[in-house]
Structure 1
């Protein structure tokens, strides 16, 4: 026997018993997002490395340490997408979407980062992503926050908290950065090695470090909201007023900075107290300069991402509908297979989910499989039924059964299935 080929670490198979939960989540996401006017967009899993270096930031951990990159046969340096926003923006620029119109877009699919695999965090992970392009006003930010909450609540997620911050404009951050670097340099020895490297390169990331000594060291750090310019202050105040009016409680979190360079003004996270240390379920914010940074026209934008694997851990199994057929068709011998298959196809033509049993077997063994399938009815055809022009219809819940004329069976099943 040949040696087994092992799966790539951190990249998981999704088996049929698990896929029902994925399908349920994806269906609910599409339903909620489309109710708010968002439309699906699909774009490649592979992009030029330059796209992510320019959008996410060359000095970020994602670009420096976590990207899956390779050189193709034409000599181009490509990368598997580590997040969806940059690819969505690139697709919008390529296809001329940003010409003054408002676009509400969403996507679902895998992302790739070479991180240390752990529960809820994998090297191939999946996201629902939402992006809106057009208005720079805070009502669009609030609409997305409400939309994310609605999806989480409809999926039955409990213990939700909204964390909120503003990063201001790039000019605001430059002033804040100087103040923060001075503060951190004075406490360099109290920081972990990673954060010491970040002081000059990406100082705001130090605020988000989960190492206890780092958290203690930055407890008195200056807060970026004290450095907001007039425009960003007005945006943040209006956003908070709209949330208050909508009855959405939130916690101001000056340590919430996000790990991507393109964010401006609003940043937020929805967390759940059901997830332990990996509490974030939805993360998002505004990125008004990204479209222009990638080569498009100046276009304000705001979006969020939802981690599917992490969210699935919060969806109760009883909320996930189990896929099962309406009828199970059991042919008892080869002589009736043609008629049994024709019956199955005719029922499917009328919208009935019909599972046809392939491979033969005794009546007893086929009825056991029918029970396991979750079907309401079993339709049994043998040589006797074929000769009499009948089909044996068995109610799998009660065990009651009756022989019906072949011409009556379809109407009977359609009625029972409606």
Structure 2
């Protein structure tokens, strides 16, 4: 038996990297005053149809959808924002005295797409959502948090790409211009883009099949259709980023892959050599109409999500070694029936005192147990034989220096805690 295609097992030696990254991201979230939210792995399919958008590749092609025993259509979540907003509405967080509501999540997402390096059918996202503020400053804060997530882990080859999708008026004017632009070459576009032309022509700019079509290069830019409010809003976001000394590049064709975005849209990319053809690490933007679409009051929002798989790929591309300590504090060696029972007691007391400790469970010889301690990178080996037990002592060997001394069993815990 093998795991399903597009999934992976994270084994010891690798999971420690994930734990380190996840703890860093949680700590960073706390610094920015974002609180954790955990939502179900599956939701009613309608949530993603309404929240993500019927014209997106996610809804049309990539969702894992099934009918449960109650004949309800259920979908494994393909992204985190719709679930967070659904929870925000359901639990009336818009009534919280602390506004905006600032949330983060870490968890598995599911998309049926062609598996490739850094893109799995089950993948893990870290994301943040700030709901309840239309201040350009919080757009900049969310972008700053996203950039910090990578910088805190040591990444340097980063590029922030920025665009504005404008408000509804700006988008409607741009929509008409896109339809006029692409209609003469409609038959040259892929079947998906032919459908998008009427439903959501902005999605054409994000098409992977038609990206090299000559009409793409001359497509009208949303920036040409921004009204005064949208243009001023975008200028303020850029001013905040400038003040924070966060460099960015404007990309007029950046539209993001979900229908709910408006105003600020951004992606962070890796410029590291050898990272791969798909350089995007994360992305996000503002979604002022999503809360209302899902049944809540008019509430602005902005967020982003990053793939932890792709984050780890970027670390590898820049040859960054995470400072992970995989050593063991103590390894207990005992020989003799009575000593083994006492060793189990000592081991338990060490663990209860917060000491990382282990022992042999395969009845190995003394030399083999010392080799096992070496493999586990034990800092100290505690040796208990019949003579030591009789004298109520235990031999403590420092594996780095080779020094060894006898310590009374009654003082062992305080002694070990004192030196580690």
Q: Give the equivalent residue in structure 1 for 2:12.
A: 16
Q: Give the equivalent residue in structure 2 for 1:326.
A: 329
Which of 346, 366, 371 pairs up with 2:369?
366
Residues 154 and 320, structure 2, Cα contact 8 Å, conserved in 1: no
Q: Give the equivalent residue in structure 2 for 1:96.
A: 92
1:117 is paired with a residue whose SS is: coil
Q: Give the equivalent residue in structure 2 for 1:403.
A: 406
1:125 is paired with a residue whose SS is: strand
Q: How much has 1:289 moved relative to structure 2?
A: 0.6
Residues 164 and 269, structure 1, Cα contact 8 Å, conserved in 2: yes
Q: Give the equivalent residue in structure 2 for 1:106.
A: 104
2:321 is paired with a residue whose SS is: helix
**TM-score with structure 2 setting the length:** 0.94
1:218 is paired with a residue whose SS is: helix
| Matches of 1:215 and 1:165, distance apart in 2 | 21
| Matches of 1:318 and 1:259, distance apart in 2 | 32
Q: Residues 215 and 332 from structure 1, CA distance in 2 versus in 1: closer, same or farther, beyond 3 angstroms? A: farther
The CA deviation string for residues 74-133 of structure 1, in whole angstroms up to 9 with x for no partner, is: 111110000000000111111110126321100000000000111111100110010001
Structure 2 unaligned residues grouped into runs of 5+? none
| Matches of 2:366 and 2:270, distance apart in 1 | 50
Segment of structure 1 superposing worse, 63-72 or 385-394: 385-394
Q: Give the equivalent residue in structure 2 for 1:183.
A: 181
2:412 is paired with a residue whose SS is: helix
Segment of structure 1 superposing worse, 351-360 or 170-179: 351-360
Residues 138 and 235, structure 1, Cα contact 8 Å, conserved in 2: yes
Q: Give the equivalent residue in structure 2 for 1:140.
A: 138
Q: How much has 1:226 moved relative to structure 2?
A: 1.1
The CA deviation string for residues 365-396 of structure 1, in whole angstroms up to 9 with x for no partner, is: 11111111112101111222212222111111
| Matches of 1:79 and 1:95, distance apart in 2 | 21
| Matches of 2:390 and 2:362, distance apart in 1 | 22
Q: Give the equivalent residue in structure 2 for 1:337.
A: 340
| Matches of 1:184 and 1:18, distance apart in 2 | 47
1:269 is paired with a residue whose SS is: strand
| Matches of 1:399 and 1:226, distance apart in 2 | 72
1:214 is paired with a residue whose SS is: coil
Q: Give the equivalent residue in structure 2 for 1:6.
A: 2
Segment of structure 1 superposing worse, 139-148 or 393-402: 393-402
Which of 25, 29, 43 pairs up with 2:25?
29
**TM-score with structure 1 setting the length:** 0.95
| Matches of 1:213 and 1:78, distance apart in 2 | 33
The CA deviation string for residues 180-210 of structure 1, in whole angstroms up to 9 with x for no partner, is: 0111122335544543443233322221234
Q: Give the equivalent residue in structure 1 for 2:250.
A: 252
Q: How much has 1:408 moved relative to structure 2?
A: 3.0
Q: Residues 293 and 150 from structure 1, CA distance in 2 versus in 1: closer, same or farther, beyond 3 angstroms? A: same
Q: Give the equivalent residue in structure 2 for 1:296.
A: 296
Residues 191 and 217, structure 1, Cα contact 8 Å, conserved in 2: no
- 1:94-173 to structure 2, matched below 5 A, reads 94-99=90-95, 101-173=99-171
| Matches of 1:216 and 1:248, distance apart in 2 | 33
Which of 218, 221, 230 pairs up with 1:220?
218
RMSD over aligned Cα, in angstroms?
Answer: 1.6
Q: Give the equivalent residue in structure 1 for 2:311.
A: 311
Q: Give the equivalent residue in structure 2 for 1:262.
A: 260
2:14 is paired with a residue whose SS is: helix
| Matches of 2:367 and 2:70, distance apart in 1 | 61
| Matches of 1:175 and 1:277, distance apart in 2 | 33
Q: How much has 1:320 moved relative to structure 2?
A: 3.6
Residues 397 and 405, structure 2, Cα contact 8 Å, conserved in 1: yes
